[in-house]
């Protein structure tokens, strides 16, 4: 199972309380997903995780952009709490392919893709597509992830064969049926009691008759 989560964090100028509420709600979303299922988060976190990863090697690589700020630290702290990784930072690219936000003379990285640390081995690339934008000033971030899908074997369904009663309309088949039934029931031509009154004979007939008219 692959769970995809998108998000938009409060901007730098917003109150700290609003930012903390956002991260608390995102924590709840991720914690609600079973640990055995994959998770990919794509979000504008409005923060800079920065270049380098000293002290944070378990959750990010070295290929961020510029210096870390408070909002970027919140991204890193979240990744540590949820045992996730900031995918963008693990792939060495020219700055042009790392910058996700460009406006006037400002170029920075605020849009990130995160995944569970155990899923990093399934990701072969992550970069910004230059020239493509999904929103004003923001640039598209793409990630290549290869998933192994295990096919479940279908259980074989046995279809019960239909009893061809219509064959007994033919006299030849009807006579052949009578003879085979007598043989199957011990060669008795007639019965002192109705066949349904004799439990043994009835049981034999119940299992024999359908086989005789297949």
CB under 8 Å to 37, separation ≥6 — which residues? 1, 2, 3
In angstroms, the CA 43 to CA 7 distance is: 5
Q: What is the mean pLDDT of residues 115-144?
A: 89
**Regarding predicted confidence, which is higher, 66 or 162?**
66
DSSP tag of 188:
-
Which domains are assigned to the chain?
2-145 (3.60.10.10), 165-212 (no CATH)
Bridge-based pairing of strands 106-108 and 141-145 is unpaired
Structure-token pair, residue 24: 């608390």
Beta pairing class for 141-145 and 123-128:
antiparallel
Q: For the ranges 40-44, 61-65, 124-128, 182-186, which has the lowest average pLDDT?
A: 182-186
For the cut 80, the answer to whether the pLDDT of residue 200 exceeds it is no
Q: What is the mean pLDDT of residues 198-207?
A: 54
- State residue 198's pLDDT score: 47
Question: How does the average pLDDT of the chain come out, rounded?
Answer: 84
Contact between residue 196 and residue 202 where contact means Cβ atoms under 8 Å apart: yes
pLDDT digits (tens, 9 = 90+) for 92-114: 999 999 999 988 888 899 999 99
pTM of structure = 0.68
pLDDT in tens, 27-81: 999 999 999 999 999 999 999 999 999 999 999 999 999 899 999 999 999 999 9
Residue 197: predicted pLDDT: 46
Query: Mapping DSSP to helix (H, G, I), strand (E, B) and coil, where does residue 160 land?
Result: coil
């Amino acid at each position: 199972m692959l769970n995809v989560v998108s998000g938009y964090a409060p901007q730098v100028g917003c109150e700290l309380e609003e930012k903390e509420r956002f991260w608390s709600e995102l924590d709840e979303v991720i914690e609600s997903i079973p640990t055995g299922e994959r998770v990919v988060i794509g979000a504008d976190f409005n923060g800079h995780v920065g270049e380098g990863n000293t002290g944070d090697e378990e959750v990010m690589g070295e290929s961020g952009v510029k210096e870390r700020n408070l909002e970027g630290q919140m991204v890193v702290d979240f990744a540590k709490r949820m045992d996730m990784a900031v995918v963008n930072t693990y792939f060495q690219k020219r700055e042009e392919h790392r910058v996700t936000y460009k406006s006037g003379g400002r170029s920075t990285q605020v849009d990130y893709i995160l995944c569970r640390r155990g899923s990093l081995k399934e990701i072969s690339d992550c970069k910004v597509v230059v020239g493509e934008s999904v929103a004003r000033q923001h640039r598209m971030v793409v990630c290549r992830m290869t998933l192994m899908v295990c096919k479940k074997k279908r259980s074989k369904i046995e279809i019960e064969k239909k009893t061809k009663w219509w064959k007994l309309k033919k006299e030849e088949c009807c006579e052949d049926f009578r003879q085979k039934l007598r043989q199957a029931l011990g060669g008795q031509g007639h019965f002192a009691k109705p066949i349904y009154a004799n439990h043994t004979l009835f049981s034999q007939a119940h299992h024999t008759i359908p086989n005789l008219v297949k």
